[in-house]
A = this chain, B = another copy of it.
Amino acid sequence: MIDTAGLRVMRAIADEGSFTAAAHKLGFSQPAISQMVRRLEERAGTVLVERIGRTVRLTEAGEVLARHASPVLAALDAAEQEVAAIAGLRSGRVRLMAFPSASATLVPKALSHVKREYPDVSITFTEAEPPESLSALRAGTCDIAVAFTYEGVDLGRGEEDVDGFEVTPLIDDEVRLVVPADHPLARSKSKVADLSTLEDETWIAGCPRCRGHLLQVCREAGFAPHVAFETEDYVAVMGLIAEGLGIALVPDLILRTVQHEDVVALSINPPSLRRIEAVTTPDLSRVPAVKATLDALLLSAAAQPKPVRSRARATTAAR
């Protein structure tokens, strides 16, 4: 029945004391106010303004509207301000989830960049493995999931389906073979290990998904690896390797943070990549704070030694 325009008009008339002045204040022409008041009166079912000679005065009902106008308009303005703050990156919240080894450098760098550029945007960060972070994204409790997929490896589970999501590749992380320093391969000139020659080795597997990758890579090389140890802790993996208890496939990004004197890393043949990517929804990627964080992640990824591939490849048709 009554909308914000009506309130604004009534308040302006109350403040200014005439239709003409109210019109100027609101940037309208005088007849616009005249008609507006007439419409309001029709809707209200009673006179709102007393036209006394060439001046006007509010009636009791008119006073009621004018009196309510300010608080209502103020509350509305507050809401607009909040939204504008979010739109203008002077506010906003981003809930980021990333797998543990991304937390080491990629994510902190991005977070600090956002914090520096937009100090009022608050980012909450939770460590989570990709299946978990993706379902959080689906459930609406997360805005950006930093996940990884092993190129060419289909784990075949719906939980990791990124269909409908927007995927931004960040880093193509080379998967390397780590062997003890006294391993024969450690002395190879080429620093490249042929996977097919590793059938008789004892293997150490990482997280479940990494284990899946190991199995698939080996299957493609023609054998099933003998996995003696499983641990998600890469520090432990290194220790095990150093002690000669096995060898492992370890993404390069991890090797840069978890190092060990007595091990050697080699490239593998055929090469294998772990793709690190930021996953969000098409809608969320247009939320300013989320977009800013995505950009920061890209920037942070570009600062990594390894090259970054193409940008923002949406998996669904553009709207």
The interface of chain A, by Cβ under 8 A from chain B, is 1-5, 7, 44-47, 49-53, 57, 59-61, 64-65, 68, 71-72, 75-76, 78-80, 82-84, 86-88, 92-93, 138, 140, 164, 281, 283-284, 286-289
Residue of B nearest to A44 (CB): B83
> With A and B bound together, what is the CA distance between A50 and B165 in angstroms?
12
Q: How far apart are the CA atoms of A65 and B81 in the complex, in Å? A: 10
Q: Give the one of A51, A52, A71, A80 with max B CB within 10 A.
A: A52
The smallest C-beta distance from A163 to any residue of chain B, in angstroms, reads: 10
Please tell me if the beta carbons of A286 and B46 are within 8 angstroms of each other in the complex.
yes
Pair A5/B2 contact, Cβ less than 8 Å: no
Q: Does B287 lie within 8 Å of A138, measured CB to CB?
A: no
Q: Would B72 and A86 count as touching, CB distance under 8 A?
A: no
A288 surroundings in chain B (CB, below 8 A) = 45-46
Which residues of chain B come closer than 8 Å to A71, judged between CB atoms?
Answer: 75
Please determine whether A76 and B283 come into contact, CB atoms closer than 8 angstroms. no
A3 neighbours in B (Cβ, 8 Å): 3-5
**A5 cross-chain contacts in B, Cβ below 8 A:** 3
State the copy count for this chain.
Answer: 2
Cβ-neighbour of A75 out of B1, B72, B84, B88 (below 8 A):
B72
In the complex, the chain B residue whose C-beta lies closest to that of A81 is B64
10 contacts between A and B (CB under 8 A): A2-B76, A2-B79, A46-B83, A46-B288, A47-B284, A50-B281, A53-B164, A59-B283, A60-B93, A60-B287
The answer to whether A50 touches B80 (Cβ under 8 A) is: no
CA of A60 to CA of B94, assembled, Å:
9
Which are the 10 A-B pairs with shortest beta-carbon distances?
A: A68-B79, A45-B87, A46-B87, A50-B283, A61-B86, A64-B82, A72-B75, A61-B83, A3-B4, A47-B286
The CA of A307 and the CA of B23, in the complex, are separated in Å by 49
- Residues in B neighbouring A57, C-beta threshold 8 A: 140
CB-CB < 8 A to A284: which residues of B? 47, 50, 59
**Contact yes or no, B86 A46, CB < 8 A:** yes
Q: Which of A78, A80, A86, A281 has the most CB of B within 10 A?
A: A86
